[in-house]
Structure 1
Amino acid sequence: MLNNYLPFTDSTKYQELQLVSYCLQNSEEWSCFKDVTTSLAITNYKLKQLIKNINATGLITIDIQNRQKSFIKISDTDPIDLQKITTHAALHSLKFKIFLHLFMNVASRTQEDLQKKEGISAATYFRSKNALFQSLGAEKVTMISTSEAEVRLLITNVLYMFKYDKLFNIAEVSGTIHTLTDILTSHLNLTSKQQEKFFYFCWVNYLRYRMGMTLLATDRKYFLAKDNLPEDLAFTEQLATLLPELSNSDLEIFQRFCLSFLNPQTTQPEKILL
């Protein structure tokens, strides 16, 4: 799971997540400094800095106990705290900010705008950008360079993974997307997590359309054939409300893309496939 965070988090933030993960997975309540530093390949000084950084967030507390040896443990945590520390790591990572700038630049800010906001040089920007692409891997970079569908799927996965929803700030759009989800849920066995991820997926598509990005002919392999369910008409009507500027053909493509996204996540794929 941690490897999924690597492309989008800076080195120190990733090490903080590694430390939290190590402590939680350790079968013993207390973890010895030496064991931790050996496992994470870091120095005692670096370990103390990571603990200081984590405690400073106020989201998770790592206690230190000094006996003949030094030990650490994480105080009581719950899944919400763990998600918050993961989100915090992304929000404070330059690679994640560059990812958003490249693929979800709704405000059309320039590279220079980002550099000024973050107080970084062009050289730092390009180093982090290159590190981001290298972490994604050549195959993934090629795929997102040639497929708008792949871009939208990647963005959805990344934003959902970090529970980053700051861009989803138009109440009317959220309301329409919730209605879309309700329509599909009425005949698909979607869990609450699947519904939540579909909410992210719809928002990503909405914002990419608003940025002038459209699905391409080369994306057709990602689209499922439409079924003739009664819900299709209501679903299409809601899509038209969400994106009134789309042609009937584009609306059908988006609908098929939605079904394609949901199909692997449902337990009743035969209900949406011809």
Structure 2
Amino acid sequence: MRIQSPGTPAPRIPTARTESPSVAARNTVRSPATGAPTRSQDVFEPARAQAPAAAAKGHAARNLPAEIPTGTPDYYRQRAEDFRRRNPGMEPPAYYMEYGQKYCDRFSSLGPKDLTPEGLQWRDRTLNALQEAIETKRMEDPVGFAQLERDPEAFKKFAYDSHPDAYVDSGLYNLPVQDLMKIGTTPDIKDLLTQDGVRQVIDALGKMSPGDVVNVARESVEELVNDVKSIFPSGIKLPEIKLPHLSLPW
């Protein structure tokens, strides 16, 4: 047994409520701004507070309209499927399947027996331009586009309004009249005799210039001559047909 000598202080026994300096240091961190010690459990409070906001932002991003490649035969079907994914229980705008996809399929089925080579090229440019108009609208304002999709009539008006520019800018009035006749009779009459359908026809005709009239006539005559040449033997030379100069009162 060790005997405590007189005058020597007794050793201090740490109690349960007293932490050694090394333990206390491990349980605290310092604020970068002030250097003041803070309990380590407080460091993770801001992360927990921001988690719901980050989750909501991610959810909103997933519900924005997806980008769909243009120039594809099933573009409108993919747009309709994307709408259903984002809006369970809701029907997509009728325009997607009842007009866009229907006429994409119908015009894509036309071949060399239906349209001239120029007409087929116009068809491909126009189908792509119509899809590009929708994708541009989505890209410019994804949230506004999603809201527009939920209003079928407003969406149909927007889509129909994009048609005349797509038709004309793709070279509609550079086609011969036989192409114009085929193009004009391909849609169902019920789709043309609606308010939006009549307006798009009027808008397209309003973009026709006097030069377009001459172009249509020229292309029609040239196509007629080519058809006639295919009937006669190659040794027979047909007279050259020239259109007179037209002075139109516009």
- Which interval holds the TM-score relative to the shorter structure? under 0.3
More helix by share: 1
User: Of the two, which has the highest radius of gyration?
Assistant: 2
TM-score normalised by L of structure 1: 0.24
